């Protein structure tokens, strides 16, 4: 994006859409905004945005449109008319709403029929992160489309990353990140509950884990797993084989069972580890479980 084309239209002014508009205004963009509730657009007018009175005008104004509505259904509700399709012709549509890979491919097909350029993206941060320039947006699709809009996305978030040529890769990246984050949060809460039930001083346990994170040990260990799954080699890293892990997991399951805690995720982990050991892979490292989590060539789960 050249300095002479610092303009963007943002469609959808919830918490995140408003944050995107404010970030763009703060970084010198000419910002047009549209929302079903015109009052939200008027609120941004005092900050320098130009409210657009109707959707077709918003789609026709300028070259780049960013959608940040609630979900895919809300996006398609806005685009279902022939007038919306005609107004989008020759424009670039960037989807930043919360969508799945399948939904993103559906919007790509719509954009193709409308003769519009499409890029899917997902925001990995909170609204305040975007305003402060410490957020992240991941995008996928045609690399040239990303490069043409990278400066804009970087200005909006702070960081913009292309994560795959295939439409839908960005939503998959986002949902995998969410699964990883939510899994960590869930396991923390469940383990804390087990400690509380078992008479452990909860402050001591929580502080130990905070110190563990601050020490950098967690990052180092995730680095080991990263190397293992990216290279798909599992001979070294933790200096602990699946046979060793199997015993640790078994005792952990027993501890949770004794405390009367749900252990579904631990049982699944134990089953995968046992399967790997019984198949002769007991000397491999923990990352080998990645191979058992991948679907087979027919798309069936192996675990």
Per-residue pLDDT tens digits for 5-60: 699 999 999 999 999 999 999 999 999 999 998 888 888 999 999 999 899 999 99
Give the other-Cβ count within 10 Å of 39's Cβ.
Answer: 9
Tell the burial category of 221 from Cβ atoms under 10 Å away from its Cβ (0-12, 13-18, 19+).
Answer: middle
Q: Which CATH topology does 3-165 take? A: Rossmann fold (3.40.50)
Same fold, 3-165 and 172-293: no
* Domain spans in the chain, listed from the N-terminal domain onward: 3-165, 172-293
pLDDT in tens, 65-120: 999 999 999 999 999 999 999 999 999 999 999 999 999 999 999 999 999 999 99
The per-residue pLDDT for 300 is: 60
Contact in structure between 69 and 124 (CB atoms under 8 Å): no
CA distance 121 to 68: 10
Give residue 113's pLDDT. Answer: 97
At residue 35, what are phi and psi to the nearest 5 degrees?
-150, 150
Looking at the predicted structure, is the pLDDT value of residue 299 above 80?
Answer: no
Question: Structure pTM?
Answer: 0.89
Q: What pLDDT digit, counting tens, does each position of 229-248 carry?
A: 999 999 999 999 999 999 99
Per-residue pLDDT, 2? 38
DSSP state of 98: B
The pLDDT of residue 38 is: 86
CA atoms of 278 and 236, how far apart (whole Å): 20
Task: Pull the structure tokens for residue 33.
Answer: 């905004």
Per-residue pLDDT band at 1 (split at 50, 70, 90): very low
Which CATH number is 172-293 given?
A: 1.10.1040.10
Residue 28: Cβ-neighbour burial (10 angstroms; 0-12, 13-18, 19+):
exposed
């Amino acid at each position: 994006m050249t300095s002479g084309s610092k303009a963007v239209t943002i469609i959808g002014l919830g918490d995140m859409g408003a944050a995107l508009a404010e970030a763009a205004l703060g970084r010198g963009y000419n910002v047009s905004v549209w929302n079903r509730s015109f009052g939200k657009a008027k609120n941004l007018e005092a900050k320098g945005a130009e409210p657009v009175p109707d959707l077709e005008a918003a789609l026709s104004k300028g070259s780049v449109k960013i959608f940040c509505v609630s979900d895919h259904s809300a996006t398609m509700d806005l685009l279902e008319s022939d007038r919306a399709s005609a107004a989008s012709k020759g424009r670039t549509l960037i989807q930043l709403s919360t969508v799945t890979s399948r939904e993103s491919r559906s919007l790509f097909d719509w954009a193709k029929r409308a003769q519009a350029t499409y890029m899917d993206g997902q925001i990995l941060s909170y609204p305040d992160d975007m305003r402060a320039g410490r957020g992240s947006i991941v995008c996928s699709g045609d690399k040239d489309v990303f490069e043409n809009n990278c400066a804009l996305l970087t200005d909006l978030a702070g960081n913009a990353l292309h994560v795959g040529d295939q439409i839908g890769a960005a939503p998959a990246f986002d949902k995998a990140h969410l699964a990883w984050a939510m899994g960590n949060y869930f396991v923390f809460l469940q383990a804390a509950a087990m400690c509380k039930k078992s008479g452990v001083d909860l402050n001591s346990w929580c502080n130990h884990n905070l110190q563990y994170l601050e020490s950098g040990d967690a990052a180092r260990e995730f680095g080991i797993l990263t190397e293992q799954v990216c290279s798909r080699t599992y001979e070294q890293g933790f200096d602990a084989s699946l046979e060793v892990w199997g015993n640790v997991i078994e005792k952990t399951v027993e501890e949770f069972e004794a405390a009367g805690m749900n252990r579904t995720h631990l049982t699944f982990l134990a089953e995968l580890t046992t399967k790997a050991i019984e198949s002769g892979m007991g000397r491999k490292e923990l990352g080998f479980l990645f191979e058992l989590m991948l679907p087979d060539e027919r798309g069936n789960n192996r675990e």
